[in-house]
Amino acid sequence: MSFPLLTVTAALPAVGAIATAAVPAAGRVAAKWLALAVSLATLVLAGVVFARFDPGGDRYQLTESHAWIADFGVRYELGVDGIGAALIGLTALLIPFIVLAGWRDADVPDAEAGDTRGRRWRPTQGFFALILMVEAMVIISFAATDVFLFYIFFEAMLIPMYFLIGGFGDRAHASSEDEAAKQRSYAAVKFLLYNLAGGLIMLAAVVGLYAATADQLGEGTFSLARIAEARASGELELATNTERLLFLGFFLAFAVKAPLWPLHTWLPNAMGESTAPVAVLITAVVDKVGTFAMLRFCLGLFPEASSWATPVILVLAVISVIYGALLAIAQRDIKRLIAYASISHFGFIVMGIFAMTSQGQSGATLYMVNHGISTAALLLVAGFLISRRGSRLIADYGGVQKVAPVLAGTFLVGGLATLSLPGLAPFVSEFLVLVGTFSRYPVIGIVATLGIVLAALYVLVLYQRTMTGPLKAGLEKMPDLRLRELAVAGPLIALLLFLGFYPKPLTDVVNPAVEHTLSDVEKTDPKPDVPVTAHDAEAAK
Amino acid sequence: MENLIGLLVAAPLLGAAVLLCGGKRLDRAGHWLGTALAAASFVIGVVLFADMLGRDGEERALHSHVFSWIPVEGFQADVAFQLDQLSMTFVLLISGVGTLIHLYSVGYMEHDARRRRFFGYLNLFLAAMLLLVLADNYLLLYAGWEGVGLASYLLIGFWQHKPSAATAAKKAFIVNRVGDMGLSIAIMLMFTTFGTFAFEPVLAGAGETSEGMLTAIGLMLLLAACGKSAQVPLQSWLGDAMEGPTPVSALIHAATMVTAGVYLITRSGAVFNGAPDAQLVVTIVGAVTLIFGAIVGCAKDDIKKALAGSTMSQIGYMVLAAGLGPIGYVFAIMHLVTHGFFKAGLFLGAGSVMHGMNDEVDMRKYGGLRKYMPVTFVTFGLGYLAIIGFPGLSGFWSKDKIIEAAFAKGGTEGWILGGVALLGAAITAYYMTRVMLMTFFGEPRWKRDASGAVAGASPQRPDVEPVAENAADADTAHPATGAAAEPHPHESPKSMTIPMIVLAFGSVFAGGLFSLNSSFVHWLEPVTGHDHGHSPLSAAAVTSATVVVLLTGVALAWAQYGRRPVPVLAPRGSLLTRAARRDLLQDDFNHVALVKPGEYLTRGLVYVDAKAVDGAVNGTAAAFGGLSGRMRKVQNGFVRSYAVSMFGGTAVLIAATLLMRAV
């Protein structure tokens, strides 16, 4: 029995969350430092996971397997492939930045806290505890190789997210306090209902899967490994319609979370109303569970149904790409603009997954990581900007580069990453997704390429309106980035540059996992029309 | 030697990193650091050039694999360089002219508080541009391609407090992105066809694929070239790009970056050679643009915009030549190099004039400046003679060859293209003579009368208000611009005149040197191939015709601007003149055809998203669980209890499952 590294990696933030929540009201600064320390320690553990993962080894590594609910075939099974390892790394990487960026977001002015202060009203502690709790659940979701285990945490993370969205709103709102509270509550409930509805449909499919395995294998199971083995040996054969229905049940839940057009409308509300760090948590971390699960569960469990549904899903994905970008162009609210940009990017990810090519799926996995980092950079800096002026409206800004050049510069780099400029990480993934899609579905690939023009529009228009031109009245005193804020933006930008020039550490880990996934769905890459053989290439040199 | 290639790119890249991240400590010496690193790149280029000359024509290419960039199953993108004669030509042009312009900027930007950043951006540009011409595969080329786009964006918008500069920068980037889309698609087509996008295998394998595929790839590459090189229909950004500081206009928007499209087409010669239809489109684009730009150049009163029209037109010549195939590649590149000298020189001259004239750009407020700025006058004058193709100067050699090559295309096409090229030469002579006369000859039109107003000018002129380049910025040291101050034209400092003199030498001698024993043809032939074609006209006939049209153009301009005083207020002008002042309505067209419909579309979609999509999804859900009805009650709190009960249900379910274990 080896050291349960994955369990510990997930348990650490969970324990940290409880400890943070338990810090007394007077110790709110200590709670922050505790949360930061826990998130950094988790990052170290995730680094160990990433380092211990051997790209040339088994498909799932660092596995743990224990009987849990024996009568129901549920096992506590963990394991990571390259995709899971990369995403656990992303999650652990982003949380410290989220904590640091949200350092003051939950502080209540002493006057407001009133006489309840010191007894039960401890928003700061709650804020950071909830963030750590989400981290723990997301890590377990990325590591679970038992369908039921995954499902539990996939659903459970809605609870802390609900409170983070509804309880800690953005203070920068145009309307009255009451109106803002209503908006916030609407956003939180909308988030919850969409995701719960998706989750309930998935639950039905999970039960259906259990029934099917129980029926054919004699004992029900949720274990990915067991199901794969049974399917390979012919023990388990799902009827075409059963497989399709089960696939749809899973896929809907993931498509809500991802989010895919037309199930996306909860995202702009949720991201707009929550604080910038929470918005990053939603789009850069939690939503990735959706796209990750498409790769692992939809393609892994239901390969034939996945192929069957591919045309429709690709069309929805390309609609997301274009539609999200067009809506981003029209937004007047900085955070909603970034939310719609994310919808466009999730379209790319889903497209890459269902293109069923090596480049598409490696690109999609890289995209998940890169989108996480680039959105964090852009959105957290936007959050710093918003907190200075107290407004999310683009029209309230102008000429900021004159008073805060570093803020403007980091915002521009975040924006350039969002529009996939070569040299920054997202370019690598976006191009891979486009090539991977194009090689099998040229028309879809070309339509999606329009997205790169639209992305330039929404990013540069945003930059122009907020940062350039004459200084807007009221901004004369705006301070530039502080040290804490620089500590958030700087490393993220460094990472974007590093992974833009040298993504090899990531592709090395991801590529084998993608090969496994492609063999699950029995797909091979399209061959070039005029293959230039290795010999020719050698001769040419 | 191979290892030096990477250093060509690394030196300016290091400069950019240090200058942009270095902070205020570098303010005092940053510009010299930037200039030194640009010069270092040039020196390395010269060393490599000397080394290359030591080998035979076919053996000259060097390769250097640096590292594996994006390794994914079936997809191999490397950071790897290839230095052959074509790349070498560009390396010397880019780093040479680049270094001169760095030097010039030391003086030109002296009073700008953000000079360090300016040099950082210039270094970034050099690195990206060198990457573009040194890449050994299309994806790395694409990285350089977008990199120069970024540098161009940053530099056009360098004075970003001016809304016009910020808008121009954004416009340039977005129009270029449309072209970049073409390059992306071309790379994807190469990947699906050849399984790779490295130059050697793709170009070697081009013969084995269908003409249709080559045509598709060629047209997509052309789209990319149109964006970067400001060719019709993606030309609209170049005029606005003149919002950038003048050294930027000289380096990026005249001498180097805008010629990247010509490089791309020439580099992909094997693709175009197998796709005659694509070649035809290339020549048409070139021919249309060369006339388009020339007409615009005739009507502009802003000296930089007149030169920008001219740049567009001259690149039209290059694109036309590149579209001719092996008859034209060498001459396209030769004109590119000579144009790099004389157009950079002309822009630096224009900058020098503006420097002495309180940043005035309206040529109608110049006049008689030759007495005040002798060095600028002589260097600008030599550049002028070169661009109009005065016999013996650089432009004569390269442009004449292109006109010959166009006739040599043969058939009706040859006559049409040759005719257009000749017509372009006439218009070039006309508009450049106009610039020359309005700026350096005639009566000074910038003297003020007693009331402080410019003699004969009414202060209200809607479309040519003096655009003071950087005077609006309180940080800069041009305190008193405004209408009241009379300019005191003076010669520019040495750091500015020396680059102008060097470029003037290039403008005079480069063409002749290249043509001596056809040395340039022999130099590039191993890479691009060369073919003489069958011209229906003798070389002497073409040359005589060129000289005749040239003199006609000069005479016409002299009749209009030399013989008579130039009015300070632009006359209303003919319909064509007025259209040309508005860049032949390019922006009006784009506005009606793209911008407005786009706005309606996005606004419409916002409505659709809020009402229809959200509503439909909620409605569908309602059919199952009354979700929608409850969503509407969100304000009164019912829905929260609903959510809680849903959650509760799930929790109970899970709890029950867990309990089963205990049972």
SS3 per-residue string spanning B1-58: CHHHHHHHHHHHHHHHHHHHHCCHHHHCCHHHHHHHHHHHHHHHHHHHHHHHHCCCHH
Output the six-digit token pair for A83: 């995709």
Question: Cβ(B514)–Cβ(B393) under 8 Å?
Answer: no
B655 touching A (Cβ < 8 Å): no
pLDDT given for residue A435 in this prediction: 95
CB atoms B188 and A362 under 8 Å: no
- Cis-peptide into A311, omega within 30 deg: no
φ, ψ for residue A77, nearest 5 deg: -120, 125
* Mutation target among A530, A536, A538 for the B interface, most CBs of B within 10 A: A530
CB atoms A359 and B166 under 8 Å: no
CB atoms B661 and A449 under 8 Å: no
pLDDT given for residue A340 in this prediction: 95
Mean pLDDT, chain B, rounded, equals 86
- Nearest Cα to A269, choosing from A322, A195, A353? A195
φ, ψ for residue A43, nearest 5 deg: -60, -40
Nearest-neighbour CA in chain B from A346: distance (Å): 17
Cβ-count burial A509-518 (b if 16+ within 10 Å, e if not): bbbbbbbbbb
Whether the predicted model's global pTM rises above the 0.80 cut? yes
B450 touching A (Cβ < 8 Å): no
Q: How many residues does chain B have?
A: 663
Q: B63: which chain A residues are within 8 Å (Cβ-Cβ)?
A: 541
Q: A449: which chain B residues are within 8 Å (Cβ-Cβ)?
A: 181, 184-185
Higher pLDDT, B290 or A170: B290
pLDDT given for residue A233 in this prediction: 86
pLDDT given for residue A112 in this prediction: 52
Taking the C-alpha atoms of residue B634 and residue B641, their distance in angstroms, rounded to an integer, is: 10
CB atoms A532 and B202 under 8 Å: yes
Task: Count CB-CB contacts under 10 A for residue B240.
Answer: 22
Residue extents of the structural domains in chain A: 310-526
Residues 6+ apart with CB under 8 A from B576: B295
Nearest-neighbour CA in chain A from B536: distance (Å): 38
pLDDT given for residue B663 in this prediction: 43
* Mutation target among A163, A431, A467 for the B interface, most CBs of B within 10 A: A431
CB atoms B602 and A450 under 8 Å: no
Strands (E), A347-443: none
ipTM of the complex in this document: 0.92
CB atoms A362 and B72 under 8 Å: yes
Taking the C-alpha atoms of residue A391 and residue A173, their distance in angstroms, rounded to an integer, is: 6
pLDDT tens profile A327-376: 999 999 999 999 999 999 999 999 999 999 999 999 999 999 999 999 99
Question: Cβ(B380)–Cβ(B347) under 8 Å?
Answer: no
**H or E stretch including A285?**
none
DSSP code of residue B63: E
Size of interface A-B (CB pairs under 8 A): 227
* Mutation target among B9, B20, B192 for the A interface, most CBs of A within 10 A: B192
Q: Of the given ranges (A48-52, B290-294, B474-478, B513-517), which has the lowest mean pLDDT?
A: B474-478
Q: Of the given ranges (A484-498, B151-165, B591-605), which has the lowest mean pLDDT?
A: B591-605
Higher pLDDT, B467 or B18: B18
- Nearest Cα to A326, choosing from A313, A340, A339? A340
Strands (E), A21-138: 61-69, 74-80
CB atoms B660 and A432 under 8 Å: no
**H or E stretch including B503?**
helix B494-515
Measured CA to CA in angstroms, residue B565 lies from A400, B407, B453, B464 at distances of 46, 39, 19, 19
Measured CA to CA in angstroms, residue B53 lies from B47, B227, B523 at distances of 10, 34, 9
φ, ψ for residue B75, nearest 5 deg: -135, 115
B621 touching A (Cβ < 8 Å): yes
Cα atoms in the Cβ-side hemisphere of radius 13 Å centred on A213: 24
Taking the C-alpha atoms of residue A75 and residue A73, their distance in angstroms, rounded to an integer, is: 6
- Asked if the model's pLDDT at residue A123 lies above 70, the reply is yes
Interface of A with B in 332-371 (CB under 8 A): 358-359, 362-363
- Asked if the model's pLDDT at residue B645 lies above 50, the reply is yes
- Asked if the model's pLDDT at residue B456 lies above 80, the reply is no
pLDDT given for residue A365 in this prediction: 96
pLDDT given for residue B472 in this prediction: 41
Nearest-neighbour CA in chain A from B242: distance (Å): 17
pLDDT tens profile B48-102: 999 999 888 788 889 999 999 999 988 889 999 999 999 999 999 999 999 999 9
Nearest-neighbour CA in chain A from B596: distance (Å): 13
Percent of chain B with pLDDT over 90: 59
Question: Cβ(B308)–Cβ(B253) under 8 Å?
Answer: yes
Radius of gyration of chain B (CA): 28
A500 touching B (Cβ < 8 Å): no
- Asked if the model's pLDDT at residue A520 lies above 70, the reply is yes
Q: Which of A432, A469, A502 sits opposite B161 (nearest CB)?
A: A469
- The three-state secondary structure class of B449 is coil
Q: A540: which chain B residues are within 8 Å (Cβ-Cβ)?
A: 200-201, 204
Nearest-neighbour CA in chain B from A434: distance (Å): 8
B66 touching A (Cβ < 8 Å): no
B569 touching A (Cβ < 8 Å): no
Task: Assign B587 a pLDDT band (cuts: 50, 70, 90).
Answer: confident
Taking the C-alpha atoms of residue A415 and residue A417, their distance in angstroms, rounded to an integer, is: 5
Q: A438: which chain B residues are within 8 Å (Cβ-Cβ)?
A: 185, 188, 191-192
Percent of chain A with pLDDT over 90: 66
Question: Cβ(B234)–Cβ(B222) under 8 Å?
Answer: no
pLDDT given for residue A137 in this prediction: 95
A74 touching B (Cβ < 8 Å): yes
Taking the C-alpha atoms of residue B99 and residue A528, their distance in angstroms, rounded to an integer, is: 44
pLDDT tens profile A217-244: 888 889 888 888 888 888 888 888 889 9
Nearest-neighbour CA in chain A from B195: distance (Å): 5
A525 touching B (Cβ < 8 Å): yes
Q: B603: which chain A residues are within 8 Å (Cβ-Cβ)?
A: 330
Question: Cβ(B268)–Cβ(B182) under 8 Å?
Answer: no
A8 touching B (Cβ < 8 Å): no
pLDDT given for residue B652 in this prediction: 65
Output the six-digit token pair for A236: 């388990």
Q: Which of A193, A261, A421 sits opposite B643 (nearest CB)?
A: A193
B656 touching A (Cβ < 8 Å): no
- Nearest Cα to A31, choosing from A133, A164, A127? A127
Task: Assign B581 a pLDDT band (cuts: 50, 70, 90).
Answer: confident
- Asked if the model's pLDDT at residue B462 lies above 90, the reply is no
Which single residue is written with the structure tokens 């956003």? A187
Higher pLDDT, B176 or A541: B176
Task: Count CB-CB contacts under 10 A for residue A218.
Answer: 9
Mean pLDDT of A2-22: 93
